[in-house]
A and B are shown apart, each in its own frame.
Chain A
Amino acid sequence: MKLLEYQAKQLLKEYHIPVPEGFVVKELSMLSQPVQHLGGKCVVKAQILAGGRGKAGGVRLAGTPKEAEEAAKALLGKPLETYQTAGKGETVHSLLVEEQLVFQKEIYFSITYDRETQTPVLMLSARGGVEIEETALEDPESIKKVRVNPLTGIQEHHIRELFLFLERGKEGYRSFTDLVTNLYRLYVERDAAMVEINPLVILSDDSFLALDAKMIIDDNALFRHEDLVKIRSVPDDELQEVHAREKGLSFVKMDGDVACMVNGAGLAMATMDMIKHYGMEPANFLDIGGSSNPQKVIEALDIIMRNPKIKVIFINVFGGITRCDDVANGFKKALSQRPIDRPIVMRLTGTNEKEGREILESIGYDAFSDLREAVIHLKEVYQRSQRGGM
């Protein structure tokens, strides 16, 4: 779960990490007071979850209240298109209006976890304000990584190593230590998967301040962070995915027109790959999971049918924990609730296959047991639908 910048900064404040003075503005009429409070000069920042906001014009400097109003008008309620929004743009529902600050230097700092060593990793780069992926490609030497053993937690020498990499004597070490210690505490206590401060700026008095903040909370840990779930904001294009997750399904929308519904993530990916291999394009990834719940099949078909582009539907089930008769029952019930006007090709094998097939037969459906045969048939059905026939 991603947090908006102002939400992340609210958490930083709770952990005593310095951030610019700022106000959240959700309507134009709310703008003048914060701008006045900041003395007319301010930064107007569009609050979206996608990255690449700065380059897309989502962060604007205003020298006067009038400029602030123009910036706010240009952003609020409008879609902002960045390289991460896949050509659609993300609607700006709120702005963060902040004081303009003078600083001597900007750097990059983040805490994330490293899959290879299975440890939290602190990452620092002298190149602030630049995306870390870009720095990694252009100037990997400018990145310093320090891994922390999760059993012992962060130690003073970890912080010292990072600070020495900045090559700036001892000035500001106290402030840096406080910031890194507090940020690590936040990372652990709030189950962050990533906290990124880019840029982290060094002010004229050598103290450190978080000018920007990105935060992703581990979805698996949301059960112990109800306060964060309450403030969750979901970008338009991820609504379906989040909705599916709430129903116990795992869904990712794709651009094609062949829908699929599969039990198990690996088999679901492989099914998409097979659809593509046989010259079709998958419309989605959809894993109904391992449990035996007919209701999930109903929900899954419901999500699939929301995509008007769909030409055919492929159901691929290899029963393990998932029982074929449960899937067939869910399918039968779904059909009784709503007719599905697209051709459906089914592959059903494994636990309780016989019972599942009997249920399907009773409603006039048949299923393959071999995966390759099923996909070849799917292709024929797809081509027929392309020609307009059924």
Chain B
Amino acid sequence: MGIFVNKETQVIVQGITGRDGSFHTKKMLEYGTKVVGGVTPFKGGMNVEGVPVFNTMSEAVSRTGADTSIIYIPPAFAAGSIIEAAEAGVRNIVCITEGIPVADMMMAAHFVRTRGVRLFGPNCPGIITPGETKIGIMPGHIFKKGAVGVISRSGTLTYEVVHTLSAAGLGQSTVIGIGGDPVIGTKFTDCLEAFEKDPATEAVVLIGEIGGSDEEMAAAFIKEHFSKPVTVFIAGKTAPDGKRMGHAGAIIQGGKGTAESKISLFREAGAAVVDLPVDIAEAVKAFF
């Protein structure tokens, strides 16, 4: 089954007529995702890959009954699209967009919580339950159904890790990119809580990076509440203080948020921490 999304999940694509939106609608349909509608203002009535397009999210949700949306909307309008989706009544929102102003995201993140809506991202590759549904931009063919849950702040590094896991015969239950921005919806701890309860997940891989304190909170959670084996890689050991390393959230500030401090907390919590991303599969294999 995996966590948060499965083969029953019905998806609306916000920004479906755009370059990325239409391309990934096709890719998601090919993977088997139930894409039931799309939204682009003033393009209602069109079709994209056989999927009906609506003018608003509220129309799309009431006509299709979808419970999840994925957002491919430019940064200036993306936070507004998150709020629109939450008001329309979906339960999950996946926001792919990179570059949303922090002030907009603070507002949107607080708003979705008041509605009890789960937000993934922004600035993330999305979420996939292999063999069931892919709600995101990841290359579907590298994933394999299995028992390893993967959570990550990054996109391509996740692909790298999943690729080696699959090659080693270690399939995945659900893989979640939580996003590289400083203000995101679902955090590592939320995913760990769900993986703990998920019978399909037997081990977890956590891919963190410098900046912020989500990894620190995850380490504390693992120590207190998590019973399954966790393998960790933290990117950015070579990153200098005060520089943003590509992701808006990947920045060491005043000596806080370094890879070393995160690594030592995970070790203390009993997680297996590897030095290189290419070592992950071997470390996970030890638990099976």
Q: Is the CB of B101 within 8 A of A220?
A: yes
Q: Is the CB of B246 within 8 A of A265?
A: yes
Q: Which of B156, B180, B246 interacts with A318 by CB under 8 Å?
A: B156
| Set of chain B residues within 8 Å of A149, measured between Cβ atoms | 110
| Set of chain A residues within 8 Å of B104, measured between Cβ atoms | 221
| Set of chain A residues within 8 Å of B163, measured between Cβ atoms | 318, 349
Would you give the shortest CB distance from B198 to chain A, in whole angstroms? Answer: 24
Q: Is the CB of A224 within 8 A of B235?
A: no
- Please, how many angstroms separate the alpha-carbon atoms of A118 and B103 in the complex? 9
- Please, how many angstroms separate the alpha-carbon atoms of A320 and B254 in the complex? 34
| Set of chain B residues within 8 Å of A282, measured between Cβ atoms | 238
Q: Mark A310-327, 1 if CB is under 8 A from B, else 0.
A: 000000001111100000
Chain A contact surface mostly: mixed
Given contacts A115-B183, A220-B248, A371-B278, contact A267 B240 (CB under 8 A): no
Given contacts A116-B213, A218-B103, A272-B238, contact A266 B137 (CB under 8 A): no
Q: Is the CB of A263 within 8 A of B182?
A: no
| Set of chain A residues within 8 Å of B132, measured between Cβ atoms | none
| Set of chain B residues within 8 Å of A133, measured between Cβ atoms | 254
Q: Which A105-131 residues have C-beta < 8 A from chain B?
A: 113, 115-116, 118-120
Given contacts A113-B106, A252-B243, contact A267 B236 (CB under 8 A): no
Q: Which B210-249 residues have C-beta < 8 A from chain A?
A: 210, 212-213, 217, 233, 235-240, 243-249
Give the bracket for the number of chain A residues in contact with chain B. 35 or more
A151 on interface, CB distance cutoff 8 Å: yes
Would you give the shortest CB distance from B153 to chain A, in whole angstroms? Answer: 7
Name the CB-closest residue of A to B23.
A321
Q: Is the CB of B76 within 8 A of A223?
A: yes
**A-B contact sample (16 more), CB < 8 A, given A115-B183, A191-B101, A350-B142:** A133-B254, A150-B106, A151-B111, A151-B114, A220-B100, A221-B103, A223-B76, A252-B239, A265-B180, A265-B246, A267-B159, A269-B239, A274-B277, A318-B163, A320-B138, A350-B139
Top-10 shortest CB links A-B: A266-B154, A265-B246, A264-B156, A266-B157, A221-B101, A269-B235, A287-B246, A267-B156, A250-B246, A150-B106
Interface residues in chain A, defined as those with a beta carbon under 8 Å from any beta carbon in chain B: 113, 115-116, 118-120, 133, 149-151, 188, 191, 193, 218-221, 223-224, 250, 252, 254, 262-270, 272-277, 282, 285, 287, 290, 318-322, 349-351, 371-372
